[in-house]
A = this chain, B = another copy of it.
């Protein structure tokens, strides 16, 4: 475990070391993730069924469970150079404050204007849309990280970008909205009067502040009903995990350079895009039996899909218009308690990660949000980076593991994903600073109710 080289605070790779291929972990999985299913036919979605909604090359990536590496197109590599490589940080000051013998590393993806790792996949999706000759893309955004990332990528590749932003976020997060507008995106509060489904929901629930499910439905409707448009999504999908593998590939290169072998790898998990990307190459080694790593998914106790959900086919959206995915789910109608701050509020989980968890390749823990903000504050004060609430779930778990090492005296290497910064989440920090933050987790009864009506799929 002892390193032979002095490890700097931040390991920056050379530009030439930015990955030139994405790694597809599905190629090394014995049990492949279950296919997306057409809710109408009950059969796996085909290329032809998916391409009216998604870009063609992205659908190919979505359906390909066998090709281990995909070349990253030159144009995307060029764009990556403007915000990658991202640093691997040795959290020396946090270690010192904890008094732990553990070595804590984090892969920091927040040093770009979108403030998170989302830009890795937004770049790819915008590029393929442009390459296909499309005019633009549509999407939804809740907290706003994905919408911001997509706006940036669309500005770069010269593509129209239409974002449906959950109305309550649109009103409460005007800054996120302005970043998107500065990048030339049009941002519409959802439900809007621009779509059939928006009009219907506004009529049915006057004054509603919207939901992610509704925003997805609006974005999909606009994509399929406007020639030259497609819909894009920032998490959950196989293609997104493929693009996000740059995180793990870079982290692994940095680790290898300094002979660091992570014992524990930790990531927060909402839809799974960051965790799936961070662990990809490490999980590949584990699947191929070359190395062993403890891999831990951290989720909010208020939205505990891995730890308290069921593994079953379910809708990806609350509007029930998208394909069905087999995943750990709390039911597509599940909505976390209103006092839940930040993202990680999706009811399901990436089918790839769900299969890996089901097969015992990963662990999962759920953490409560006041303990998450306590960890966030400690990290901010010692390491100088104000973390996103989402990322702080991973910080919490990393601190907990480091404190176990303090008890046992073990000098373990802990690697976690620091997905982003919390500059647009200061309402939540304010609640924490004021002592107004609560923990509210769903009861067993709540969950039984929300998973009562899962769709039946018999492949």
Could you tell me which A residues sit within 8 Å of B by CB distance? 8-10, 12, 14-15, 81-83, 93, 111-113, 115, 152, 155-156, 174-175, 178-179, 181-184, 377, 380-386, 421, 423-424, 426, 429-430, 433
Contact = CB atoms under 8 A, between A and B. Distances in A.
Given A8-B14, A9-B81, A179-B423, 19 more contacts: A8-B81, A9-B15, A9-B82, A82-B383, A82-B384, A83-B384, A111-B111, A112-B384, A113-B380, A113-B384, A113-B421, A156-B381, A174-B430, A175-B423, A178-B429, A181-B433, A182-B377, A183-B380, A184-B381
Contacts of A183: 380-381
Contacts of A385: 112-113
29 contacts: A8-B14, A9-B15, A9-B82, A10-B15, A10-B81, A12-B12, A82-B383, A82-B384, A83-B384, A113-B423, A152-B384, A156-B381, A156-B384, A174-B430, A175-B175, A178-B426, A178-B433, A179-B423, A179-B426, A181-B429, A181-B430, A181-B433, A182-B377, A182-B381, A182-B386, A182-B429, A182-B433, A183-B380, A183-B381
Contacts of A12: 12
A83 B174 CA distance: 29
A178 B113 contact: no
B430 A178 contact: yes
Contacts of A429: 178-179, 181-182
Contacts of A14: 8
A178 B83 CA distance: 27
**Minimum-distance CB pairs A-B, first 10:** A8-B15, A175-B426, A178-B426, A9-B81, A155-B381, A113-B386, A12-B12, A423-B423, A178-B430, A181-B433
B179 A386 contact: yes
A369 to B, nearest CB: 15
Nearest to A176: B426
A95 to B, nearest CB: 13
Contacts of A433: 178, 181-182
A258 to B, nearest CB: 12
A179 to B, nearest CB: 6
Contacts of A383: 82
Most buried by B among A112, A184, A386, A421: A386
Nearest to A15: B8
Contacts of A93: 82, 156
A443 to B, nearest CB: 32
A157 to B, nearest CB: 11
Most buried by B among A82, A155, A183, A424: A82
Contacts of A155: 380-381
A26 B184 CA distance: 45
Contacts of A426: 174-175, 178-179
A375 to B, nearest CB: 13
Nearest to A382: B156
